[in-house]
Structure 1
Amino acid sequence: MSDEVRPGHVRVRLDLSYDGKDFSGWAKQAQGQRTVQGEIEDALRTVTRSATTYELTVAGRTDAGVHARGQVAHVDLPGEVWAEHREKLLKRLAGRLARDVRIWSAEEAPEGFNARFSAIWRRYAYRVTDAPGGVDPLLRGHVLWHDWPLDVDAMNAAAERLVGEHDFAAYCKKREGATTIRTLQRLSWERDASGVLTATVQADAFCHNMVRSLVGAMLFVGDGHRPVGWPAEVLAAGVRDSAVHVVRPHGLTLEEVAYPADELLAARNKEARNKRSLPGTSAACC
Structure 2
Amino acid sequence: MSDEVAPGHVRVRLDLSYDGKDFSGWARQTVGRRTVQGEIEDALRTVTRSARTYELTVAGRTDAGVHARGQVAHVDLPAEVWDEHRDKLLRRLSGRLSHDVRIWRVELAPQGFNARFSAIWRRYAYRVTDHPGGADPLLRGHVLWHDWPLDVDAMNEAAGRLVGEHDFAAYCKRREGATTIRTLQRFSWSRGDDGVITATVRADAFCHNMVRSLVGAMLFVGDGHRPADWPGKVLAAGVRDSAVHVVRPHGLTLEEVGYPADELLAARSREARNRRSLPGAAGSGPASAAGDAGCC
* TM-score interval (norm. to shorter): over 0.9
Deviations 1:179-222 (A, max 9, x none): 00000000000000010000000000000000000000000000
Q: For 1:173-188, what aligned pairs fall within 5 Å after superposition?
A: 173-188=173-188
1:115: which partner in 2?
Answer: 115
* 1:6-32 deviation line (CA, Å, top 9, x unaligned): 000000000000000000000011253
Residue 279 of structure 1, CA deviation:
2.1
Root-mean-square deviation (CA), in Å?
1.0
Task: Please report the TM-score for the alignment, with normalisation by the length of structure 1.
Answer: 0.99
Give the 3 Å change call, closer, same or farther, for CA 10–23 of structure 1 in structure 2.
same
Q: CA deviation at 1:275?
A: 1.4
Is structure 2 residue 244 aligned with structure 1 residue 252? Answer: no
Indicate the larger mover: 201-210 or 276-285.
276-285
Q: What is the correspondence of 1:175-214 to structure 2 with a 5 Å cutoff?
A: 175-214=175-214
Amino acid at match of 1:169: A
Partner secondary structure for residue 102 of structure 1:
strand
- The 8 Å contact of residues 124 and 252 in structure 1, kept in 2 or not, is answered as yes
In the other structure, the counterpart of 2:16 is: 16
The match for 2:46 is 46
Residue type of the alignment partner of 2:167 = D
Which whole-Å CA distance do the structure 1 matches of 2:158 and 2:100 have between them? 35
Secondary structure at 2:84 match in 1: helix
> 1:103 aligned to 2:88?
no
Q: Which residue of 2 aligns with 1:145?
A: 145
Matched AA of 1:162 = L
User: Which residue pairs with 2:67 in the alignment?
Assistant: 67
Q: Secondary structure at the match of 1:91?
A: helix
Structure 1 portions without partners, runs of 5+: none
The answer to whether the aligner puts 1:219 opposite 2:219 as a matched pair is yes
Please list the CA deviations of residues 22-47 of structure 1 after superposition, one character each: whole Å capped at 9, or x if unmatched. 00000011253000000000000000
Unaligned runs of 5+ in 2: 291-296
Partner of 1:81: 81
Counterpart for residue 90 of structure 1: 90
1:3 equivalenced with 2:3 (yes/no): yes
**TM value normalised by structure 2:** 0.95
Structure 1 residues 45-97: Cα deviation after superposition (integer angstroms, max 9, x where no partner): 00000001000000000000000000000000000000000000010000000
Q: Structure 1: which amino acid aligns with 2:17? A: S
- 1:268: which partner in 2? 268
Distance 2:57 2:214 in 1: 26
Structure 1 residue ranges (4+ consecutive) displaced by more than 3 angstroms after TM superposition: 282-286
Match of 1:74, SS state, is: strand
What is the distance in 2 between the residues matched to 1:92 and 1:112? 27
Kept in 2: contact 1:276–1:283 (CA 8 A): no
Greater shift, 27-36 or 152-161, is seen at 27-36
Cα deviation digits, residues 214-246 of structure 1 (max 9, x gap): 000000000000000000000000011111000
Percent identical: 85
Closer/same/farther in 2, CA of residues 104 and 248 from structure 1, 3 Å limit: same
Partner Cα separation in structure 1 for residue 125 and residue 271 of structure 2: 26
Output the CA distance in 2 between the equivalents of 1:62 and 1:283: 31
